[in-house]
Structure 1
Amino acid sequence: MKKTERIPSLPEVHRTIKVPVGGGFWRKMLAYTGPGYLVSVGYMDPGNWATDLAGGAQFGYMLLSVILFSNLMAILLQALCVKLGVATGRDLAQACRDNYSPRVSFFLWILCEIAIAACDLAELVGSAIALQLLFGIPLAVGVCITALDVLMVLFLQSKGFRYVEALVITIIAVIGGCFIVELIAARPDLAGVLQGFIPQSEVVRNPTALYISIGILGATVMPHNLYLHSSIVQTRDWQEIPEKKREAIKFGMIDSSVALSIALFINAAILILSAATFHFSGHQDVAEIQDAYKLLSPVLGFAPASILFAIALLASGQNSTLTGTLAGQIVMEGFLQIRLKPWLRRLLTRLVAIVPALLTIVFLGEGSTTNLLIMSQVILSLQLSFAVIPLVMFTSDRRLMGEFVNPRWLKVLAYAVATVIVGLNAWLLWETFLGWL
């Protein structure tokens, strides 16, 4: 291992949140609650909405099992992030820098920056679509307005990390509340929903269902979330002894598992809403967010349905952009040990996303936004393997992890999940590029 100066991850918030030494389970759980929710927003960002909408409209509740399976894989990978951050005191970017050559580290950094910009593009376009649906603002103008969220990020960071976590959790509650109301109005078939969580062979036999399923799986795990989680878990100030590290890992895993279960509910709710509203009413061709917005209220006979849908979309886009800022800072500091002022880092990321979004909307029209969202997911898929494989390798290495190394059963499971993700993303990319040719 190369000797590297051990600068803490996100030094301005590193170990700033106190953890009670004594106290009961719930008091400690409250202290550790937060990082998992920041990570979970990446699993419900606007980039996931199109696949969930298309899956529900075309195949009813059948693809709920795919959402469940992909979420279980995400829970496993985020748990590994907690282990890495707590056991080594390094985030994934720093671990890559410590263990790989400068050339390899620089290559991984470039890939991660591209992935963050692609994710930012999806969030920016999703927010702009929501502003257009709610207020009639042209997409090009909405894209520029969403760039101003840098001011909100800067304000929260100056107040402290708990304020960032509190805002994210509040926005997640808004999204969840919107979909609870929507589902009550849609009145889905409960027996059909429960059956949808049971895997069916039709998913594999039907080429279209398989393609959408792989789209859901491929877009579920956000590569920047792996870097993010392994860093922000270190905002908690546990004692540097094995017993307290085990405690931090336990509560960190509970935090992320609960938060990702909420993300599972929201993703499933999008698909259930689409199935109950469109699939069983003869609107199986609905795939775009704008089309879903226009049809929701008339088909359901519930006037606020479309408005609630757009509010949830706007909240989803704004929530995801908060975590994108932190992830960008983490990977630049971890891979390169370069620190930029938060406003400059955010501005650079936003510019990389704004330019292609504006050019596409201006020259190809507002109807091109769906293709833009798909392109962003393809770019994320390209980078994902380069984040998942190092994470599994590091947490399975006793030299790095010591007594916290993955046991044999977890190694086998983690490598199996990594293989599935790599294989499905490779297939998805191949099919996508064939479709573009």
Structure 2
Amino acid sequence: MHIFNIFKVKKEERWLALAMFAVFVMFNALVIASHYHVYTMGAHNGFWSLFTKNFRMSGYDNWSWITISGMRIHFVTTRHPLYLTFLYPLYLLNHWLIQVFGYNFAVYFMAVIIIFSAFYAVLFMYRIFREILGLKQSDSTILTLFLFSFGHILIPSMVPDHFIISLMLLSMTLYITGKKIRKGQMLTAWQSLVLTFFTAGMATSNGVKTLLAGLFTNGRKFFTWKYITIGVVLPVLLLVGIQQSQYYLLEVPQKAVIHKIEKIKREKDPKGVAEHYRKRNAWQRSHLGQPVGQGAITRWLDVSTPRTTTLVENFFGESIQLHQRYLLKDVSWNRPVFVSYSWIVNYVVEAVIVLLFILGILLGRRRRFFQMLLAWFACDVTLHLILGFGITEVYIMTAGWAFIIPIACGYLLKGLSHKPRRLLRGLLLVLTIYLWIYNGGQTAYYLLNL
């Protein structure tokens, strides 16, 4: 299987692809329309204020809009080393268009990227169910729709952040390596180079998962000089080189400019600036967990946030079902870390989904493909729940791990006899319809009332 031939839409995938494409276009259009005149203003500066004051969805960042609009870098490039390289050509084109038309196209450029990524994430997930698990077309369709009905799988398909791009790349990696495991083939060093370069380039933690995929696919043959050199070391060196080049060419000069602007602001309105930071710091101290320390790594880790409540309300809660209260609010600004559901049915649905997940793990645990998924899941549990990275808004990381739930349900379907399988299929269909109405309806309501 050639790595670049997998983007062709197959005949049996067309109706699912068309339906989901329409859904993604609709939600992206709602996001843009919510503040259309502000988002498309061709301002020559002030893009940070324009976007951050008007875009708030669960803590997802709009840094890509700001970068494409005015080449201001607010994300951490060491964690996303290829993202800036990806956005920079769009900035050059948009900068020219703003000068010609006085109109900012950044939101449209990102919408195209987000829709493209969500579209292919759907196809790759469908193919995982169909070609790797060997499920029927109807079951593969239900499980794909089940995944995208999750609250924080649906939301990344419309916000200008990297998470849906990561989901596309991770699902592509799963599809490619899953096919090779099924056929008893090896992942080549050059294929590992491409997959590691792009997955780790979008988010460094994704690179660890890609390397694990190579290890599970190739076994002991992973540890050959050719594979390690070309498939592991070379993409890492390329990404480090790209990130460092960007840092000195773009980030260092920008930091000097920002420092100058901040100095001017403090001189003009010292009380206003001080009050702003006082309120922001007070909110974060009272609402967010306490970091382990103030070091480069320890400031991102959190041991104080309760893990049990996190599991119930955020990890398996908000990730799958949006909370009615503080709907899509940002924990850094106006949402408590923990919000309880208004309806008992939400907890019932959550318990049912977690139970199906556990049963699927029991039935799929001996399959090498699913063992690889469990290793990926262990990485996310370690990073977010044990070490506490991003734990106060852990639900925005859902796109990096939640695909294991419908895949576990797929193994559960395969392991049941005829009658129980029919009952499970009906239950999954009911859950999928419910989640699409519940999460889709709340999201549309939120965007239409901004």
Q: TM-score scaled to structure 1, two decimals? A: 0.28
Per residue, is there more helix in 1 or in 2? 1
Q: TM-score scaled to structure 2, two decimals? A: 0.27
* Larger Rg computed on CA atoms: 2
Q: Which has the higher contact order (CA 8 A, sep 6+)?
A: 1
